[in-house]
Amino acid sequence: MPVDNNGIHEDFRAQARRLANEKIKPHAAIVDEEEQFPMASIDAFKKMELNGLPFPVELGGAGGDLLSQVIAVEEIARVCGSSALVLLIPWAALTPLVWFGSDDLKQKVVPSVAAGKCGASFCLTEPGGGSDLPGLKTRAEQVGGGWLLNGQKRFISNVGWSDWYAILARTAEKSFGVFMVHRDDAGISIGRHERKMGMRGSPTADVILEDCLIPEDRVVGDPFKGYEYMMQTLSYTRPLVSAQALGLAQGALDEAVRYTSERTQFNSKVSRFQMVRGMIADMAIAVESSRTLLYRAVELAEHNDDRARCFASMAKTLCSDTAMSVTTNAVQLHGGYGYTKDYPVERMMRDAKVSQIWEGTNQIQRLLVAKYVYQD
């Protein structure tokens, strides 16, 4: 892992891991079982000032670099995927605003989110699809006094807790804008909460916009450059989703090593069986390979390298595929117990699946990587 000469990132990892083990892990199973919003995790984040980690100091944040954000998400996801999701979604949602928004709009939105008083949500996907951003149908029309939004966004995370929703909407035939909509604005409503396989602690529902009128100053930057803003943002947000997947894989590997080291069969520790050791070795190789690629993607993003977008897609694909395979093998290594809710690997496997789907499906990521390789 790239760190500075003082080992600041290693110290930060140790703090995040301690927080995860002491304050988040104890309630992870209840959060999943009862579909309970992880408010205890939010309180824990506040104590370590994680809510504002990526935001500038002048906006109430900590000014942390992308690697610090990735480490934080990774360590939280190692014990609770839902808590990691609740943490990273506001960071992703407000990235376009922090980069391209006016100072007044940033001051209006960011400080409360950075303080952990509320959340923010990213609203891209629609009922007709998610990966096809140019095909989105939500529209924003400039009218007297502001912008009128109409449309429906689907699978939006953290609804209810979020006060702010970053909406990508069409402003012309081939142009889009990003608009900051508040939960109290007239014309915005929340649909039925989804009944999900995993990530059950983060509420997910549609965000519906019906003649939602917002002030002129709520548009982020240029109202015709929203698509470009989102494309630049994805080079930074995909590593966060990758980190969440990596954390789930690492957590499942930890649990598998612990269980096989304690479980006895045929008068021997299961960890001594050759086939078990082979599986654990493959899982460890996959996790460490994923971490190396992810940190390389982070390095390129932090240096604004032209390869950053491709490597972000590579990392997202590898980390999420690793999360699915490692959590599945962890369940296998637990035998029948892995199929029960008494052990966390069952939850981790369910949580891992969505990492291959959101933030651009892995099929789309492979097409992006191939486009880069072919230079077409």
Active-site residue set: 359
Q: Which stretch of DSSP H or E encloses residue 340?
A: none
**Phi/psi at 99 (nearest 5 deg)?**
-80, -40
Question: Rounded to 5 degrees, what angle do the CA atoms 138, 221, 111 make?
Answer: 95
Q: How far is CA 308 from the centre of its chain?
A: 18
Burial class (CB in 10 A: 0-12, 13-18, 19+), 69: buried
Rounded-to-integer distance, Cα 156 and Cα 59, Å = 25
222 burial class (0-12, 13-18, 19+ CB within 10 angstroms)? Answer: middle
Q: Is 103 left (phi over 0), alpha (psi -120 to 50) or beta?
A: alpha
Q: With contact defined as beta carbons under 8 Å apart, do 212 and 148 qualify?
A: yes
Q: What is the DSSP string of 135-163?
A: G---EEEEETTEEEEEEEEEEEETTTTEE
Contact assessment for residue 341 and residue 29, using Cβ atoms and an 8 Å cutoff: yes
